[in-house]
A = this chain, B = another copy of it.
Amino acid sequence: MQILDLLFGKPLANSEERGEQVGPSAGLPIFGLDALSSAAYGPEAALTLLIPLGLAGVHLIVPISTAIIILLVIVYFSYRQTIEAYPHGGGSYTVATENLGDGAGLLAASALMIDYILTAAVGISAGVGALVSAVPALQSHLLGLCLLILLILTLVNMRGVRDTGVAFLIPTYLFLGTLLIVIGWGLVRVVTGGGHPVPVVAPPHLPPATEMIGLWLLLKVFASGCTAMTGVEAVSNGVMAFRQPTTKNAKFTLTIIIALLIVLLAGIALLCRFYGIGATDPSGAGYQSVLSQLIGAVMGRGWFYYLTIASILLVLSLSANTAFADFPRLTKAIAFHDYLPHVFTLRGRRLLHSHGIYALVFFTAVLLILFGGVTDRLIPLYAIGAFLAFTLSQAGMVVHWRKNKGPGSTVRMVVNGIGAVATGSTLLVVLVAKFVAGAWVTALLVPLLIFTMTRVRRHYERVNRETANAQPLRVENIKPPVVIIPLDRWSRITEKGLRFALSMSPEIIAVHVDTEDNSMSICDDWDHMIAGPLKAANLPVPQLVNLKSPYRFILAPVVDFVLNKELELENRQIAVLVPELVVKHWWENLLHNQRANVLKLLLLLKGNQRILVINIPWYLQRP
């Protein structure tokens, strides 16, 4: 237990629950890391598609970012309303289930589970990818580093929510602080420069335009830019992790996250526009990320540049943590509806739903190993889950407002409707554009997950149907079982078993298997050791059955005998007594046959409702 304590902290009692809950300042790194780190790749993804438009593309980033920000605001209001309507934590899964029915709920559940696993995998691989670009010597250890970071995240998260917050506080605030300084100082220089600031380090020249603006291109740009929105769902899913007043704290945290994300997206878009910064070809030799160009243009390449870049790298790899915070809560909610194994509802020693963490770590590790820890291969699978969940959540909220009519509900329904249509069409665009590249994996996994969850639910329903008991205890016809006890030879173990059998029933059948190989047999000692004393004490003498076993099988004759006896004696319970020798050292087990264990297992597998097994252990003393 001491090693566990050291690694994961001491066990926490239920009464310590409150202490494990967080306020907005600690909630921001936990639930906001994923959303905020999206700013590091969302604008870049949009600008990359705008490269063929040249300078016109860079000018287009402002209206496109505005559109994304408007969508973000719509989604923000939607989730604000969700937090209020579902104060016990309701992400897309809950909203979709309650408003659109179980089918939509399962769809949302599958989408979210896949999304969270990909969040973890992509976050880790992106972080490691950045690290490896900086230190090329580590290139050959890509996958190993990914799994190492996964291990560190697991250990940190197993300690519990509060400790996690502390671990991620500093990198998140460093990331936000440095980036906000860059944006602020950059905008000051835009104003003082009369709209034409001079870059400290000039960005690469923009290529000439090779294409014209088209609607399909704009939709694709918009869709790519929307990856900046992944992770927004997190707060509404984890409302319960906030301290009292829960709803208020959660909404406040969501507001701050969205506001910061808007500032980041708007700031990046404006700076790109005024400094003339576009994306460079990601597969080209002179590749430089948009943020790197931007920081260089505003601040130059001093220590501040490296500090900012380092914080971006760190936050990217830590964004995986959002999945650790939310995946276990999601699986708990699904398991609560009987669609996943019930272990996901149990809280472990540190008040976490530990099994959710195990599952997340397992599937993330599988993904990382399958895709070799390379981000580019994982990205096409990503985003689909997130936008499917967005769409279902907002469609659910539309239904919610229709059901719960009140002042302003029509306006809210329209807002959610617009959101649903926007995210829904984004989803379609992403699905079509990335289908061949890997989105098909997700499209295949979703129905598979739904099928599995349906089967799980059906099983639990069957168990409940079969074991539920609306009647009080039946007290009639309680009588002792027929006891069957397999014996080999007379020993203290045999005596203990027989004495117990005598204590519970007057009907005892002693069974001896005769393989013709045994030298000593209970049959030789039966009369003077067992039957005699019992007769003398006027106690019932057990029936002795000698089973011939010419093929030297020991257990099969006993099991057959028990099964036949069960058929023969209707409405009686059969208790099989299994005496067992318990040794003190594991290696001593090699010196004894494991017949007791195999017999117990065989009786369990071949038995039925009326057969039960009583294990009489005999403990060897320490020498």
Q: Interface on A for B, CB 8 Å cutoff?
A: 11-15, 341-343, 345-349, 456, 459-460, 462-463, 466-469, 472-476, 478-481, 490-496, 498-500, 502-505, 515-517, 528-530, 532-534, 536-537, 539, 550-552, 573, 575, 580-582, 588, 590-593, 600, 604-605, 607-609, 611-621, 623
| Cβ–Cβ < 8 Å partners of A618 in chain B | 467, 609
Find out whether the CB atom of B604 lies under 8 angstroms from the CB atom of A615: yes
CB of A343, distance to nearest CB on chain B (Å): 6
Distance (Å) between the CB of A482 and the closest chain B CB? 11
- What CA separation (Å) do A290 and B616 show in the bound complex? 67
Known: A474-B499, A591-B459. A550 touches B341 (CB 8 A): no
Distance, CA A341 to CA B583, complexed state (A): 14
Residues of chain B with a CB closer than 8 A to A582's CB: 604-605, 607
Question: Chain B residues near A504 (CB, 8 Å)?
Answer: 480-481, 503-505
**B500 close to A573 (CB less than 8 A):** yes
B612 contacts A616, C-beta separation under 8 Å: yes
Q: Are A14 and B516 in contact (CB under 8 A)?
A: yes
Total copies of the chain: 2
Measured between alpha carbons, how far is A613 from B536 in the docked complex, in Å? 31
Q: Please, which residue of chain B has its CB at the minimum distance from the CB of A621?
A: B466
State how many angstroms separate the Cβ of A375 from the closest Cβ of chain B.
Answer: 32
Interface class of chain A by DSSP: mixed
**Shortest distance in angstroms between A235's beta carbon and chain B's nearest beta carbon?**
24
A476, A479, A616: which has the most chain B beta carbons within 10 Å?
A616
**A275 to nearest B CB, angstroms?**
56
Residues of B within 8 A of A611 (CB): 617
Cα(A593)–Cα(B341), bound, Å: 9
Q: Chain B: which residue is nearest A573 at the CB level?
A: B500
Given A459-B588, A537-B475, A491-B469 contact (CB < 8 Å):
yes
With a CB–CB cut-off of 8 A, which chain B residues contact A463? 581, 592, 620
**Is B623 touching A462 in the complex (CB atoms < 8 A)?**
yes
- In the complex, A343 Cα to B517 Cα: how many Å? 13
A342 to B466, CA, bound (A): 45
Q: Judging by beta carbons under 8 Å apart, are B615 and A15 in contact?
A: no
Q: Which among A472, A473, A479, A593 has the highest number of chain B CB atoms within 10 Å?
A: A473
> A474, A613, A623 — which one has the most chain B CB atoms within 10 A of its CB?
A613
- Taking a contact as CB atoms closer than 8 A, the residue among B13, B343, B349, B469 that contacts A495 in the complex is B469
A-B pairs with beta carbons under 8 Å apart, 5 shown: A14-B551, A346-B552, A466-B492, A476-B537, A613-B615
Q: Which residues of B contact A493 (CB under 8 A)?
A: 467
For the complex formed, measure the closest distance between the CB of A466 and the CB atoms of chain B, giving whole angstroms.
6
> How far is it, in angstroms, between the C-alpha of A347 and the C-alpha of B554 when the chains are bound?
12
Using CB atoms, name the residue of chain B closest to A505. Answer: B504
Which of B469, B479, B575 is A494 in contact with, Cβ under 8 Å?
B469
Q: Given A15-B550, A341-B590, A495 and B473 touching (CB < 8 A)?
A: yes
- 6 new A-B contacts, CB < 8 A, other than A349-B551, A467-B618, are A14-B515, A342-B592, A343-B593, A459-B591, A472-B529, A612-B615
A608 to chain B, nearest CB (A): 6
Q: A473-B495, A480-B504 are in contact. Are A609 and B619 (CB under 8 A)?
A: yes
Contact of A490 among B469, B581, B607, B612 (CB under 8 A): B469
Beta-carbon contact of A613 and B612 below 8 Å: no
Whose C-beta in chain B lies nearest to the C-beta of A460? B591
Instruction: For A623, give the chain B residue with the smallest CB separation.
Output: B462
A500 CB to nearest chain B CB (Å)? 7
- Bound: A551/B467 CA distance, A: 28
* Contact between A552 and B517, CB atoms less than 8 A apart: no
Known contacts A491-B467, A502-B478, A550-B14: does B621 contact A529 (CB below 8 Å)? no
Q: Which residues of the other chain, B, contact A573 by a CB distance below 8 angstroms?
A: 500, 503
